Structure 1
C-alpha cells in the first residue's frame, strides 16, 4: 500500500493563535485528509493560506495569485474564493478545503465560483483592476475576484495609541503588515504580521518593556517590503508566538489572567520549549508535567514563587500547553484548557 502523498502549506497574515490552531489541526485531523499536510516556509509551500479580511491580507492574496502561486483564503466569506475556509476555522471545513486542494494538485482543474457581490461606491478601483489583470493572464478556469476592502490607501495612519503589543499581535489594531516599533529608551522591534515573525537585536527578555505598556503616538510605523528586508537583514528571525508568550508572561504581574480559576489545578499537556532567560521555568515545568496542582502547590514543589507560577501558567496557556481543572471539577477530571483542549473538543464535535 502506497503511503499518502505529502503536501505543504504556509499560513500568511493570521493571528498567532489562529495559525497555531490550524497547525495543530493538521496533525489532529491527519486521518481525515486524503494526503498528509505540513507547514513549510513561504517560498517552498505548495499552498499559501492567506488571511484576507484586511487591506494587507487582500493585497497579499492578489500578489501571490498574480505570481502564479496556489492560494486559499482564510476569511469570513469563503464562498467568494475557489479555495476558502471560514474564520474561525471549523475542522470539517478545513478537511474539505484541503482535500479539494489536494485533488487540484493531483491534476483536477480549479473549481469555478459564483460571481462575487458588486463592489460598493467606496470600493477602490485599484483592487478590482488588479484582479482583472490577473484573470486575463490565467489559462485556468476563471475565478471570481475576492471582495475588496473598503480602504485602499497605502498610507496607514497610526491608530495604535493606547493599544498594547498583545493587541497588535492578536490583530486587534488597524496596523498590519511589516511594522517598525520604536520608542525612547526601548529596543527597536520589527514585526511582520504576514509571516508571523519578529526581529530585534534585543533578547526576548529585553523586550519586556514593550509588553507592559501602551503604545504612544507614532511608535508603530508601517515599513515597505524593501526597507523592512534591509533593516532586518542582520537580525535573527523569531516566531511571533514566542513574543505572544512573553506578553502573557509579564503583563499580569504575578496574577492569573481572567478566565483562569485562582483555585484551579493546572498541568502541562506536554513539555514546552524552555527559555534560558527564565531558569525557574524548568523546575516549574518539571512539576507540572507530572501532575496537576494549584498555583501554591506547584510553587512549593518547584521551589518558585506563586507569582512565577501564575505567570508561567498564563504564558503557556496562551499557546495551548495547559490542561486545567477548576475547583468545581473532581480531581482527575481534567478540563482541557488553551488551544489543544479547544481543538480536541472541536474535532470531536465535527
Structure 2
C-alpha cells in the first residue's frame, strides 16, 4: 500500500512545480507514494514555509500530529523534515526514499497493462478497404496478326461512382497525467498566528469592537496599546483575517510609547492551551525556567509558580503542588514562557522542542 503525500500552504505555480517534480522523484525512489487531495488523510504534507500562510498551515498540521515537510530556502526549519528551495530533484528523491524506508514501505512496480487485441474491422471499414483496392483487369491474349482488335466493352459502360475516403483526424498527443491535488482550506488565523516572525511584513493596526486599538510593528518587535494585558484577551479569541489588519504609514507610529512585542507573545502563549499544555508533549514532561521572567501584576500567582520552576525540572502537577496553585494556572504559565523562550521542556531527560504555536512564536 502506497504512502500518501499532500501539499498545502502554497500558491498555484509552486504547487504545480512540486507536483511535477514529485512524479519524477517518486518514480526514482521506488514509486512508494501517491498524492493525496486531503491533507488530513496524508501521511506526509509538504508546506511552503516561506509563504504567508505556510507557518499557519504548519502549526495546524503539527498540532494534528502530521509529519510536515518544510519547503524553504532557510537553512533550518521547525518542520519534521526539510526540502530545500530552490528544489533539487536528487534531494527530493532521496527524501522520499528515506521517509518511505522509515515507514517500512516497499518499492512498488509500475502496473503494466497487457496489449489489447486489434478490433475486428467493421463492415464500413471493409467497404472502405475494398474501395481503395485497384481494379485490375485480367490478362488478355494478344489478337492474331493482321486483325483489328474489337473495342473493349467496358469502354462503353458508364463510369463507376467515385469513392471519397475521408482524411483521418489528427491524433492528439497524449498528455501526462497530473494528480488533481486540491489544497486544504486556508487555516483561519488568530492574532497569535500574526505574531509569528515573518507573518507581518510591516506595521499594522487592529481593533475589535469598542476595544482599544492595538498597533504592531513586526520589524522593530514592538507594539502600542493599553498598559495592561487583560484588555487584549478578547483579541485572541476569534479569527483575524488579513483585511482586519490596517496597514500603518511611517508617521502613524508614535515614538516613545511602544512596549516589547514579547509581552504580546507571552499573552498569546498564556491563552494557547486553555489550562493545559499545548498538544505535543506527554503528561510526564518536565519544565524549568532558564531565567527569571517578567511577571505581570495582573497575574499575582505567577510569582509563586516562577519561584517553584526555578528550583529544577518538574511536572505540571509537581509545580502546582510546590506553588499551592491550580495545575491549570501552571500549564498556562508554562505555555507562556515556552513561547518566549524563558522555559524549557524535557521528556525522560531529553530536551524537547516547544510544541505547536508555542514553537512558532518562539521561532
**Bin of the TM-score, shorter chain as denominator length:** 0.3 to 0.5
**Which entry has the higher C-alpha Rg, 1 or 2?**
2
- TM-score norm. by structure 1 comes to 0.46
